[in-house]
Amino acid sequence: MSGVNADEEALWDEATNQLAFHARPGHDWIDTLNRLWRKNRFVMSMDGVLKLSEAPPVLTRAMLGVSREHWPLERLAPLVHVDSHDRARPKRDERPILLLEWQGRHYLIDGINRINRRVREKQTGPHEVIVIHGRNP
């Protein structure tokens, strides 16, 4: 990715590799990010009703930045919607939680199992988080 330093490049690699785990055939990481964002229960209900005031835009790489942060559990737990599954057996527990920040609000993209396990085991953190920051083009 042009215009980013080596640390940011490594962080993008980590985020895109994590998204690749959820990719459908023929989809790249940005397709996957857009799909998972729309699938978030704070964006779309289980019966397909939009919960935002307007439909989310289709994100492009030019609209995105990335950062590594450390969040306490009390900040992560509310990102898991009540309608989400309650499984707590992460396949890759060492990975950071992956979030999308859009218009000042954070959406959980990957890490429900990790958060559920940490809630059950009362692991207050701080926990490693990768935040993909979205902005209007």
pLDDT recorded at residue 3: 67
Nearest CA-CA partner of 17 in 5, 37, 38, 33: 33
Question: How does the average pLDDT of the chain come out, rounded?
Answer: 90
Type of residue numbered 37: W
pLDDT recorded at residue 46: 86
CB neighbour class for 124 (10 Å; exposed up to 12, middle 13-18, buried from 19): exposed
Lowest mean pLDDT among 1-10, 15-24, 52-61, 126-135: 1-10
Place of tokens 């306490």: 72
pLDDT recorded at residue 84: 57
CA gap 41, 80 in Å, rounded: 9
pLDDT recorded at residue 49: 93
What is the tens place of the pLDDT at every residue in 13-67?
999 999 999 999 999 999 999 999 999 999 998 898 999 999 999 999 999 999 9
CA distances to 11, 13, 91, 111 from 6, rounded to whole Å, are 9, 10, 28, 25
Ramachandran region, residue 48 (left: φ > 0; alpha: ψ -120 to 50; beta: rest): left
